[in-house]
Chains A and B, each alone.
Chain A
Amino acid sequence: MIAYLARRVLYAIPILLGVNLFTFALFFVANSPDDMARLQLGIKRVTPEAIAIWKHAHGYDKPLFYNGADQGLQRFSDTIFFEKSASMFAFDFGRADDGRDIAREIRMRAGPSLEIALPSFVIGMMTNITFALLMAFFRATLLDMWGVVLCVAAMSISGLFYIIGGQFLVAKLWHWVPISGFESGLSSLKFVILPVAIGVVSGIGGGARWYRTLFLEEIGRDYVRTARSKGISELAVLFRHVARNGLIPILTGAVVIIPSLFIGSLILESFFGIPGLGSYTLDAINSQDFAVVRSMVFIGSLLNILGLMLTDISYTVADPRIRLQ
């Protein structure tokens, strides 16, 4: 397994390089360094000299990929792409266009993102599994039918509706929690309850319906019939046998998501004023801050690769018949 993982780590390097190259190319197709400078310096009274100074100060006064004026390897190394990318592989993300240290910002913002994403993920999983098991238990009854109808309806509603509706109902009309905002420590609890609840509720439709399918598939297997023939109650069959076996695909599907929880949610954070990584990325895209965008894309791809590796490992844990070679 170690050899397998080592091989996966080595594969990750060209993937990260490719992602970085792709992000770089996409970004600079839409924005030139001059555009970036103009946006940072403001619309009024921007002189060509000011743009030149800004580009020089931020390292954007070089060719993008190939520097014909240099000799040898420097033709490639004395370029914006090389200088901005090489440091990133050493986890030196540099500074945002507003001068703030990106690594420090990421450290500061990962906490608030996790405070929303982690409980939403864990509680969401538990809720979905519970709902799915209940629907499986009441299969072929009116309760099951209405459960599926509700799930389909819930899946069809936009995520933004849950956010605006949730804020309106729970925070504005019922006055249970603040509409938006954030505090650190224990005080954050009152601010995260609603976004977490919305994260959970908005995921029930898709999650519970998918898990229900998995559980129903398990219910038809031979070992379930055997268990029933032994006289075990239906609840015990479901929660002791079906749930345990049905969880294998659920868990392996969930493991891949875990690392990306750090990245946060773009819209949820924006509406609830959570100073997390999701809103950081959104701000950077809006302000054309390439330094932040490429750092977040790099971290995102790294976490995605990590998630896939963890999924592979989780297969071996969940099913002893599988061996990584």
Chain B
Amino acid sequence: MYGRRPADWAKLSPMRQILILLFLALSGCGSIWDDPYPASDSGKSILYLAFTERPKHLDPARSYSENEAAVDAQIYEPPLQYHYLKRPYTLVPLTATEIPHPEYYDAKGNRLPEDAQEVATSLYRIRIRPGIFYQPHPAFARDAKGDFLYRHLSSESLSGIDSIADFARTGTRELVANDYVYEIKRLASPWSQSPIAGLMGEYIVGFRDFARKLEKSGKVDLDGINLPGVKVEDRYTYTIRVKGKYPQFKYWLAMNFFSPMPPEVDRFYSQPGMAEKNLTLDWHPVGTGPYMMTENNPNSRMTLVRNPNFHPEAYPSHGMPGDNLKDAGLAMPFIDKVIFSREKESIPYWNKFLQGYYDVSGISSDSFDQAVAVSIQGEAQVSPQMKEKGIELKTSVAPSILYMAFNMDDPVVGGSSERAKLLRQAISIAMDFEENISIFANGRGIPAQGPIPPGIFGYREGRAGMNPVVYDWVNGEARRKSIDAAKALLAKAGYPDGRDAKSGKPLVLYLDATGRGADDKTRFDWYRKEFSKIDLQLEIRSTDYNRFQEKIRKGTAQIFTWGWNADYPDLENFLFLLYGPQGKVKHGGENSANYENPEYDRLFEEMKNMDDTPERQKIIDRMQSIVQEDAPWIWGMYPKDYQLNHSWLSNLKPNQMARNSLKYLRVDAKLRDEKRHEWNRPEYWPFAALFALFLVTAIPAYRVYRRREEMKAR
């Protein structure tokens, strides 16, 4: 058949041509027909992942969301990273030679001792390892004279170029300190639109003035302009000068914002005609990481392949008890290629995971019962059906909190009056978040006792961490106070039986929310039910997302649900959510409840620059008890992440801070192939059934036809 001459092919009837094409297309799948990947990829060291939302930005200066970091972190390398196995989360060097320790200076520039309290600036000196090279890329390609090959491109010379792979030549070069400095300048540049530009302006010396200068000058070559707080010391060393003390700054050095950016790459992508072909830094990242992007079609697929220039990096030799250390000391990455396919809907994603076409999957509410069984001890484990397939479940508590906030500017529920405080405390008791977690999160969460989630320094287990306003310690566990206790508080607040004692009118409260779907209605009904337990009426004011955000910004909401996902594993990143100067309405900050308490604010300022010492813990405990008493939030829950993986994937350990985890993973492609063949054998009987159905209808039809044809008159 393959040897047929074109003339013979033309002689075939269209029907035969279609059948041959159909056969060829299906035979390309091998013996399994439902394989969405080419048969030639079978048995290869490829990791198959899915993405639901397409990343908006891959430029490290702009990218901030989780789905973007999942790609960027495999390509870009900031100076620091989180240890993959150790808990609590620990910073370790990535391209840096060591974790930088700040040097403190006074206003005159004199060096201060490490325990100095009055610090004008902190200097971070970062040394990077020599011998790290970038991935092959046309931006580095040079001709025989040493000039860049693709530097003076025009729209005309780009004809025939549609992707980065269309450039004939590539090159590389060593990573140098200036690349990191260049990226920090990019964070300040208005055209980069970095989401952390405002925040860094508060900390990095000269950052804000530098940004203003660039705003006036328009787009210029950043290499030629000096940013006073960031300097290249030598080829492999650079310094960042930060205002005052900011110990959390080191965590930012593990985020993609502080990745290196070679100036020649930025210049390469800035050439005329490149953006029209979607050839931008925002879509085609260039880094020193274990993988490089070879295909970016965010509509359907993104492909990363092993970076041939990746520097030696070994799998960690130490971890926590029970960690898999079989690969300790071996060079990473272990997988040659990573394919991210787009799955917008959860049902096809889940079914393809069950068929073995994705190696990892989350669990949606629809498939939770199918995937997870909860033991008598309340421990989550995979269901027997999943166990039979060898599927494993990994759980971890996210460094996040989901809470219900009271707007402290509201005249009824807000403010520091005793009446309002008691009302908030009564509602906090009535809102049974244990039930909420069970109904709406399938048990995937821990009832929160305060703003600090587990795994973060400052969090206390057991009785010491319990919120005494809402819980009592009974038989070795925290038990929610009774509804009678809540009603008593309500009566004390002047609302006996849910009515204003003075006017006799029922107290009606308002929850501002965004959802309007069927699931949201169930949730809203549950909120109403919880409020009604203490005879309070709750009205839901549901609106679209934009209007909801506007209400929060303007402080016109009364009660609302909100959440926070940590940028870094330090409690400062949680406690600042209740810090007065972060108030949403007054200062445009992240304190959405607009909570203000002078003592809390003073303690926050004292605590934020301290090391993790017992003294710091004492202050944290006091801060925690202040907010538990004031109850500006109903503490809600710390969500738990559940992740499933197939048996052929090893070394997977959930790490809520490290995004560059793909280099640690290993795939047994042979086992995966065997399982895919075992699980996806096509069923043939439906063909016979369809044929039988055809016969069942064709026979009476033929009889009717014969009768009609033999009729004398029609």
Contacts and interface: CB of A to CB of B under 8 A. Distances in A.
A186 B348 contact: no
Interface stretch (A78-86, A176-184, A294-302, A309-317): A176-184
A273 B300 contact: yes
Interface in A264-304: 270-273, 275, 279-280, 283, 287-288
B348 A49 contact: no
Contacts of B567: 44
B682 A186 contact: no
B683 interface: yes
Contact of A186 (B25, B199, B283, B714): B25
A178 B297 contact: no
B704 A138 contact: yes
Interface residues of chain A: helix, strand, loop or mixed (majority): helix
A44 B590 contact: yes
A62 interface: no
B700 A104 contact: no
B21 interface: yes
Interface stretch (A68-76, A167-175, A241-249, A255-263): A167-175
Given A42-B65, A109-B299, A176-B682, A143 B345 contact: no
Interface string B148-178: 0000000000000000000000000000000
B681 A175 contact: yes
Given A143-B697, A234-B708, A275 B299 contact: yes
Interface in B557-594: 567, 588, 590
A35 B549 contact: yes
B688 to A, nearest CB: 12
A167 B198 CA distance: 47
Given A38-B549, A42-B64, A273-B348, A228 B714 contact: yes
Interface string B24-54: 1110110011111010000000000000001
Contacts of B686: 174
A211 interface: no
B22 to A, nearest CB: 7
B199 A45 contact: yes
Contacts of B35: 178
Interface stretch (A4-12, A95-103, A199-207): A95-103
A60 B707 CA distance: 73
Interface stretch (B274-282, B367-375, B498-506, B644-652): B274-282
Given A42-B65, A187-B38, A101 B278 contact: yes
A53 interface: yes
Given A138-B704, A273-B348, A176 B195 contact: no
Q: How large is the interface on A (under 10, 10 to 19, 20 to 34, 35 or more residues)?
A: 35 or more
A48 interface: yes
B573 to A, nearest CB: 11
22 contacts: A40-B56, A47-B588, A49-B197, A57-B191, A98-B57, A101-B278, A104-B278, A172-B351, A175-B33, A175-B683, A176-B33, A176-B682, A177-B33, A179-B348, A179-B351, A180-B345, A186-B25, A189-B21, A190-B29, A190-B33, A270-B344, A273-B300
Shortest 10 CB-CB contacts between residues of A and residues of B: A47-B198, A275-B299, A189-B25, A178-B36, A181-B36, A35-B546, A275-B300, A180-B348, A174-B683, A175-B682
Given A45-B198, A273-B348, 10 more contacts: A47-B197, A53-B190, A98-B282, A99-B282, A138-B704, A174-B683, A179-B355, A186-B21, A189-B22, A275-B297
Interface of B: 21-22, 24-26, 28-29, 32-36, 38, 54, 56-57, 64-65, 190-191, 193, 195-199, 215, 275-278, 280, 282-283, 297, 299-300, 341-345, 347-348, 351-352, 354-355, 357, 544, 546, 549-550, 567, 588, 590, 680-683, 686, 697, 700-701, 704-705, 708-709, 714
